[in-house]
Homo-oligomer: A and B are copies of this chain.
Amino acid sequence: MISKSTIKLIKSLALKKYRVKEKLFLVEGDKNVIEVLKSSYKTEKLFATKTFISKNENSCNKAISTFEVEHFEIKKTSLLQNPQNALAICSLPKKQIFPKKLTDNLSVYLDDIQDPGNLGTIIRICDWFNIEYLFCSPNTVDLWNPKVIQASMGSFCRMQIFESKFEQITDLAKLSRVPIFGAFLEGKNIYTETLPKKAILVMGNEGNGIHRELESIIDRKIKIPEFSDEGNSAESLNVSVATAVICSEFKRQNF
């Protein structure tokens, strides 16, 4: 049985103020829960079905307390439309130490990404492309939002993600002698530009793109070219899709 007070606690973790107050975050979905159990995050409470527990015994042992529950209980508690077989309450980690220098790799800075699905997908993309650091502006959706965690498919456990102001990034870029690239509709074609191995890529907000006041600090503006001659194709790509295409091109050129 999941107690009423626990259900209330879990539901409250949808909101940042309760996550901060309780110092907890919620992980849902089988794949995500397995990944968090394998990681260095501390799983305070794991709620899972009998089948899930027997299938993932070693991983489940890593949780501080494990509760075998029926699927209907997970369903009642879950914030997902299609709940799976496991749900974990984890401790929010201590603040990581901000990097002093960048190594020979690509990093990404997100300027006010609002949609949790987009942030989660971008985390998964950065993980796939072995991006060094993911920096999020203070107004980007909270990393510990359950929908972000959900969409990241466990990749949040492996990526190094920092909340940071743009000034911190420009300082880091200067110190590390790394150029800052930004995705702009009026940028230069990524297919014909030479993209270095070591760079910071800035991706802008879903509706408004990169803040105009950051524009002058960005060293090089790039874009994914359009392909329709008549200019009657899609006006833009979703920001997570665009991030994937640009990261892919950076990595391809330095493969």
Q: Please state if B244 and A237 are interface contacts (CB–CB under 8 Å).
A: yes
Identify which of residues 29-83 in chain A touch chain B, using a CB-to-CB cut-off of 8 Å.
Answer: none
Q: Please state if B252 and A127 are interface contacts (CB–CB under 8 Å).
A: no
Q: Please state if B155 and A234 are interface contacts (CB–CB under 8 Å).
A: yes
A224 close to B (CB within 8 Å): yes
From known contacts A130-B228, A158-B232, A227-B130, infer whether A191 and B244 are also in contact, taking CB-CB under 8 Å.
no
Q: Please state if A233 and B127 are interface contacts (CB–CB under 8 Å).
A: yes
Residues of chain B contacted by A127 (CB below 8 angstroms): 233-234
> Please, how many angstroms separate the alpha-carbon atoms of A255 and B227 in the complex?
9
Nearest residue, chain B, Cβ from A154:
B234
Interface of A, helix, strand, loop or mixed by DSSP: loop
A128 close to B (CB within 8 Å): yes
> Please, how many angstroms separate the alpha-carbon atoms of A241 and B117 in the complex?
13
> Please, how many angstroms separate the alpha-carbon atoms of A234 and B124 in the complex?
6
Q: Please state if B191 and A255 are interface contacts (CB–CB under 8 Å).
A: yes
> Please, how many angstroms separate the alpha-carbon atoms of A240 and B129 in the complex?
16
Question: Which one of B155, B235, B241 lies within 8 Å of A121 (CB-CB)?
Answer: B241
Nearest residue, chain B, Cβ from A123:
B234
Q: Please state if B191 and A237 are interface contacts (CB–CB under 8 Å).
A: no
Residues of chain B contacted by A240 (CB below 8 angstroms): 241
Residues of chain B contacted by A130 (CB below 8 angstroms): 227-228, 233
Q: Please state if B238 and A124 are interface contacts (CB–CB under 8 Å).
A: yes
A153 close to B (CB within 8 Å): yes
A125 close to B (CB within 8 Å): yes
Nearest residue, chain B, Cβ from A224:
B248
Q: Please state if B128 and A237 are interface contacts (CB–CB under 8 Å).
A: yes
Question: Which one of B117, B191, B238, B248 lies within 8 Å of A245 (CB-CB)?
Answer: B248
Residues of chain B contacted by A234 (CB below 8 angstroms): 124-125, 127-128, 153-155, 158
Q: Please state if B225 and A191 are interface contacts (CB–CB under 8 Å).
A: no
Shortest distance between the CB of A241 and any CB in chain B (Å): 5
Shortest distance between the CB of A44 and any CB in chain B (Å): 24
Q: Identify the 10 closest CB pairs spanning chains A and B, nearest first.
A: A130-B227, A127-B234, A128-B234, A191-B252, A241-B244, A245-B248, A155-B234, A130-B228, A127-B233, A124-B234
